[in-house]
Structure 1
């Protein structure tokens, strides 16, 4: 690929954030686990093992009311179980990371769990019975169409955090996380469901085995929270699906003062009368550190017990253009941050590592792990306030005013090309607020 095409690809990455999204990964007990990258993995002959369920919605589309009785509503189109499971202690948090979400697609954010009663990688999805562990709907309707849970997810860096109920029995579970877009829900089958699933191995906990509902019976196209016109003032809004599990963590339900939910959930939910994010909506308002990007390939790292010590890790970004390679190193310090693992069967917390991100002409990225200087028992940490340790390359010559950027880019030296790419990335990520992970698509 020519230099001009590479530069054009970088600039065009900004347009990729305009579409519907999907859950690209999750932070479980502080450790990052990659999910199923629907717009990449579907085109690979061999998919890297991950905790996400495979699905065929390569158009990043949805399931509408006509598909509520179809198995596609369970974990999206033609979904099959993920190969791995992320281990989590009952009572701990799982942060679900969406690639992006359109601001116009207002609606509730709902999360369920279902016990696999065995190996989740081999479970028949049509037998799973889901119980609701978190829900959030209309937050404030003072300004139509109102502020919704999806808006809070966007404000929280396209992420939602849920708490695994502390009372459920240990075992293998499927976590089903979903946004329902209501911007066209005034008509039957106008609501758009975007279900996403991943596998968890729950440890600890109690002995509770909550009753559940088959995925094909969660919704009806005429449910009050499904068929609704959000462009008129709403006196109330009923979050779709079965009642919230009574053992759900406090704060796992968030509604506006004028919003109602099924009566059976009243004793298990906390109501917030304010549109301001607060502890009553903690599954959508968790403050996060910088997340790692995902890639089609990862190298597992050995497990070790993390400590609370503050350590320093190094991020090395390698820009490759045959036959030369230019490397830039940055150092950052923070109290805690997620780490990437990808081990067979069950992914476990890993020892600290330097993460190497390699960008190639195809636009894909790869990560590898090597021991960091913090020691085997150090906890990995990355901060968004990274300070470059490498000397900056020579500044490129001024761009031609004629707009002949192909000739201009071809005339640059390796150092000058690197500076141009760095400036473009800074403009996309820092100035235009494009999430860094979106640049990999």
Structure 2
């Protein structure tokens, strides 16, 4: 007879691949398809860099040394598309997964939503390596203590206490996350790092628990704007390992989104000189160094809830370009749906998913 432990371990292993990808973005009123988790022909039509094959996350133990935390382990190479992005314009990003009534929604409810920018210092994001990037934060949303949690796509309530996580909000908006670009930053090409940090297993240490970091990078060309050139930091300086451990199931808690403060888009900050482009061509580190005790600055708790994307015709790609994507997306959705059978979001025994 197969033991309950064996069945649980098998289900957990299957669910490692059952997370999600960015399936679409709207930038400056223009819709772009998202990126697949394989080298599909459709990826060449997207400003979103490719996702890992397993659609998996960066582990909390790796955030201080592994450059995968910048754009994911498949996000080092660029894509041919750089999206035009007027300074101050609205951006919408849809994360798809295997949850919800249609089985295509982002699966996690508890966690943060943060956005960073990094100038492509070589002048061309299509060839820019994110290990050379210096990131500044433009948006963050964490836990709003003044709101009640919403129901999650799989039917469970996001968490047992008062408060609403940023990842809980888009379930009423077809998994779209919405924010605005700064209006005062200098024009030019940037990598836009859109990240979800899921906290449902952050109350336990060790593999496969802790916070789950899902970075995605989108290539944009900011037009208009001002003269602001915010100082940035390497992706491996955004978090500490301890940021990935937090018991969100306590009866009461407050939460500050880790990382540097959000850039003040009011023109008050003096422009910082653009850093020189690093010349190193070494691959990202694959060995873990001795951890340090340094901890980055923490900032405010919550940013206003994003608005639901409209049905504007400008948000839809031409049909001729969507046929191939729909076929590949169907195959991907069916694969994710198979892993959904034994998802255990309500299980607080320590299993990750």
Instruction: Normalising by structure 1, report the TM-score.
Output: 0.54
C-alpha separation in 1, matches of 2:249 and 2:135: 31
| Structure 1 position 114 matched with structure 2 position 118 | yes
| Structure 1 position 151 matched with structure 2 position 158 | no
1:138 to 111, 118, 143: 143
Structure 1 contact 19–102 (Cα < 8 Å) conserved: no
2:308 to 287, 290, 293: 287
| Structure 1 position 235 matched with structure 2 position 242 | no
Pairwise mapping of residues 364-403 of structure 1 onto structure 2 (< 5 A)?
A: 364=328
Shift of 1:155: 2.0
Report the structure number with the largest CA radius of gyration: 1
Shift of 1:171: 0.4
C-alpha separation in 1, matches of 2:298 and 2:173: 29
How many residues matched?
A: 261
Structure 1 contact 22–98 (Cα < 8 Å) conserved: yes
Shift of 1:81: 1.9
Structure 1 contact 357–365 (Cα < 8 Å) conserved: no
Q: CA 1:128–1:242 in 2, change beyond 3 Å: closer, same or farther? A: same
Q: CA 1:248–1:155 in 2, change beyond 3 Å: closer, same or farther? A: farther
Q: In proportion to residue count, which structure has more strand?
A: 1
Pairwise mapping of residues 34-433 of structure 1 onto structure 2 (< 5 A)?
A: 34-38=33-37, 41-42=38-39, 44=40, 47-55=43-51, 57-68=52-63, 69-79=65-75, 80-100=77-97, 101-102=105-106, 104-117=108-121, 118-140=123-145, 144-145=160-161, 146-188=163-205, 190-223=210-243, 226-247=244-265, 265=299, 281=304, 284-290=305-311, 336-340=312-316, 355=319, 363-364=327-328
Instruction: Normalising by structure 2, report the TM-score.
Output: 0.66
Structure 2 contact 196–213 (Cα < 8 Å) conserved: yes
2:32 matched to which residue of 1? 33
CA offsets, 1:255-291, max 9 Å, x none? xxxxxxx98856xxxx77xxxxxxx61xx4313234x
Q: CA 1:134–1:248 in 2, change beyond 3 Å: closer, same or farther? A: farther
Unaligned runs of 5+ in 1: 1-15, 250-261, 273-279, 291-335, 342-352, 367-441
Shift of 1:139: 1.7
Shift of 1:24: 1.6
Q: CA 1:178–1:206 in 2, change beyond 3 Å: closer, same or farther? A: same
Q: Which structure exhibits the higher relative contact order, with contacts defined as CA atoms closer than 8 Å and separated by 6 or more residues?
A: 2
C-alpha separation in 1, matches of 2:70 and 2:84: 22
Unaligned runs of 5+ in 2: 1-14, 98-104, 149-158, 268-295, 331-353
C-alpha separation in 2, matches of 1:219 and 1:263: 9
Shift of 1:78: 3.1
